[in-house]
Amino acid sequence: MRTALRPRAGSGGGSATAPHTPEGPISTPNIAQSRPVRRPGDRLFRGAAVGSGVFIVALISAIGLFLLLQAIPSLRANQVGFLTSGVWNTTSATDLQFGILYLLWVTVATSVLALALAMPISLGIALFLTHYAPRRLARPFAYVVDLLAAVPSIIFGLWGIKVLAPTLVPVAEWLNHNLGFIPLFAEGNVTIAGGGTVFTAGVVLAVMILPIITAVSREVFERTPREHIEGALALGATKWEMLRTTVLPFGKAGYVSAAMLGLGRALGETVALYLILSATTAVPELSFFDGGATIASKIALGAAEFNNPLTAGAYIAAGLVLFLLTFVVNALARAVVAGKKEYA
């Protein structure tokens, strides 16, 4: 910047024939002078930042490309419709039969159930932490919630099937008994008493995504402008009215994108569901009390016996679908956030 402030010596003189005066260095052409100074640090940092950006995009494209290339031979050899069938029989490479339909249903069902359970609770926790809890309590409490996110998913899986599932059985039986006429709560192909149902899986997933949604929503709610809150209170709003008229509208987009982040995690969760869900060979009922496998848990189940590239390719094709699904979910979240003026 200093150079730009100096008087432009060369321009007044007009004599291009006085080159080697002590002032020579100053009389550089205009363009050079108006350009901001670049120090090595700038260049280095810019390079690092651009590099990171390019790297992550390249990495994602490489993953997508890899999945696609590995999946194509298997998709070609597939004897049934990949998107329209639900059978999964990949042991013989000469008669590959695999379809994503049932896996997709269980994946979506567990994740959506988890989201439906976790969203209201997270909202409650986030509002409590930001507006109700005493300051001294809010911090440690937030840490405790964040700690949930640090529990490995295999622990959640074991806890889910050994501890939670038996305790959930009465609840599940009650729902099935009283609401069984709704297809979502009807009896499925697996026993409710065994606990390996979409229902149990959804509840465990809900606990797993709770800290993610809570943490992000809390950050957003905390940023509600003070003036809005004080304005609402000055107008005579009660605490709940204040929350409803200022905090919630302000934080809505952030909350939704937090939920999408949680949904992304739920869709890709592997080990916990691998342990909890009971597989079935029958056509799944569109019920929370049926079993099955999600895309990710199915891959985990088959991983030990990827003996030929075609079999592996079938699972990779499933992985590709999961990849695209997560991509779409994230894109939706972006769209929701981008639609809000506050974040534009």
Partner 1 sequence: MNIKRHGAALGLVAASALLLSACGSDNNAQRGDTAAANSANVDCGGKKELSAEGSSAQTNAIQEFVAEYAHICDGFNVAYNPTGSGAGVKQFIGGQVDFGGSDSPLKESEVEKAMQRCSGNPAWNLPMVFGPVAVAYNLPGMEGLVLKPDTIAKIFNGGIKKWNDPAIRELNSGANLPDKNIVVIYRSDESGTTDNFQKYLQAAAKDSWTQGVGKSFKGDTGEGKAKSQGVTDGVKATEGAITYVEKSFADAANLGIAKIDSGAGPVELTDEAAGKAIAAAKIKGSGHDLVLDLNALYASKEPGAYPLVLVTYELVCSKGYDAETSKAVKAFLTTAATSGQDNLTKVGYVPLPQEFRTKLLDAIKAIA
Residues that bind partner 1 (CB under 8 A): 89, 91-92, 161-162, 165-166, 189-191, 193-196, 274-275, 278-282, 291, 293, 300-302, 304-308
Q: How far is the CB of 116 from partner 1 (least distance, A)?
A: 25
Longest Cα pair distance anywhere in the chain, in angstroms?
100
Q: How far is the CB of 209 from partner 1 (least distance, A)?
A: 22
- CA 38, 42, 48, 51 torsion-angle sign: negative
Angle 283-285-287 (CA atoms, 0-180°, nearest 5)? 150
DSSP state of 183: G
Count of other CB atoms within 10 angstroms of residue 322: 21
Residue 44 or 163: the one with the smaller Cβ distance to partner 1 is 163
Q: How far is the CB of 317 from partner 1 (least distance, A)?
A: 17
Residue 160 or 319: the one with the smaller Cβ distance to partner 1 is 160
Q: How far is the CB of 329 from partner 1 (least distance, A)?
A: 26
Angle 8-13-17 (CA atoms, 0-180°, nearest 5)? 115
Q: CA-to-CA distance for 180 and 166, rounded, in angstroms?
A: 20
Q: How far is the CB of 307 from partner 1 (least distance, A)?
A: 3
Residue 302 or 313: the one with the smaller Cβ distance to partner 1 is 302
Residue 165 or 258: the one with the smaller Cβ distance to partner 1 is 165
Q: Which residues contact 302 (CB under 8 A, 6 or more apart)?
A: 90, 311, 315
Q: CA-to-CA distance for 243 and 233, rounded, in angstroms?
A: 10
Q: How far is the CB of 96 from partner 1 (least distance, A)?
A: 13
Residue 196 or 211: the one with the smaller Cβ distance to partner 1 is 196
- DSSP letters spanning 32-59: HHHSPP--HHHHHHHHHHHHHHHHHHHH
Residue 109 or 126: the one with the smaller Cβ distance to partner 1 is 109
